[in-house]
């Protein structure tokens, strides 16, 4: 009886984890960078990275710097004492923002790689035609 109950609990935990991952993935897919939201959740040391990413929203280097800043904030928030109000919420929000910005960074670099590939192919065709 105990084994059956433990299996049920493990299955419920797995379903909960996959559901949270799916929700995070859906949020990352529809992510749009919001200045106020980023400012509210990041720590003051990371705000220059937020400003740089907002100034040049399509620049992968700025997005990568913001990803690194969000990761650092997330690690710092996890190190905060547990009795602080809102600590768990800050950790969750920073983790989500980090995942969304990383997804955005991957999209930006893929787009730039595709542009470089197309332009090099067009240059190759032009040189072959000459």
pLDDT tens for residues 60-90? Answer: 999 999 999 999 999 999 998 888 888 888 9
Predicted pLDDT of residue 84: 84
What is the rounded average pLDDT for all residues in the chain?
A: 84
> pTM of the full predicted structure?
0.69
> Is the CA virtual torsion 70, 75, 78, 79 positive or negative?
negative
Predicted pLDDT of residue 110: 87
pLDDT tens for residues 15-67? Answer: 666 777 777 777 767 778 888 889 889 999 999 999 999 999 889 999 999 99
* Residue 106 predicted with pLDDT over 60: yes
The residues near 97 (Cβ < 8 Å, ≥ 6 apart) are 37, 38, 41, 42, 70
Q: Domain-by-domain residue ranges, the chain? A: 1-30, 33-129
């Amino acid at each position: 009886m105990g084994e059956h109950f433990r299996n049920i609990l493990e299955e419920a935990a797995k379903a909960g984890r996959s559901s949270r991952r799916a929700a995070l993935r859906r949020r990352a897919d529809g992510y749009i960078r919001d200045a106020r939201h980023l400012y509210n959740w990041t720590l003051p040391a990371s705000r220059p990275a937020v400003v740089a990413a907002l100034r040049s929203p399509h620049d992968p280097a700025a997005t990568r710097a913001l990803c690194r800043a969000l990761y650092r904030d997330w690690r710092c928030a996890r190190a905060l004492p547990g009795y602080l109000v809102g600590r768990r919420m800050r950790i969750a929000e920073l983790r989500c923002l980090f995942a969304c910005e990383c997804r955005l960074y991957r999209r930006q670099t893929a787009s730039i790689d595709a542009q470089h590939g197309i332009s090099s192919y067009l240059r190759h065709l032009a040189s072959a035609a000459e």
